[in-house]
Homo-oligomer: A and B are copies of this chain.
Amino acid sequence: MDKELCSYPELDKHGFTCPVELTMDVIGGKWKCIVIHQLLDGPKRFNELRRLMPKVTQRMLTLQLRELERDGLVARRIYNQVPPKVEYSLTEFGWELAPIVRSMMDWALKHADTVMEHRSQSLAKTQA
Contacts and interface: CB of A to CB of B under 8 A. Distances in A.
Interface string A97-110: 10111011101111
Interface of A: 8, 10-11, 14, 16-24, 26, 28, 30, 33-34, 37, 53-55, 69-72, 93, 96-97, 99-101, 103-105, 107-119, 122
Nearest to A126: B70
A77 to B, nearest CB: 17
Judged by DSSP, the binding face of A is: helix
A72 B96 CA distance: 30
Given A22-B112, A26-B115, A116-B14, A96 B107 contact: yes
Contacts of A14: 112, 116
Contact of A20 (B10, B18, B34, B114): B34
Given A10-B112, A72-B117, 7 more contacts: A17-B53, A20-B104, A24-B33, A93-B114, A99-B103, A100-B100, A100-B103
A100 B93 CA distance: 18
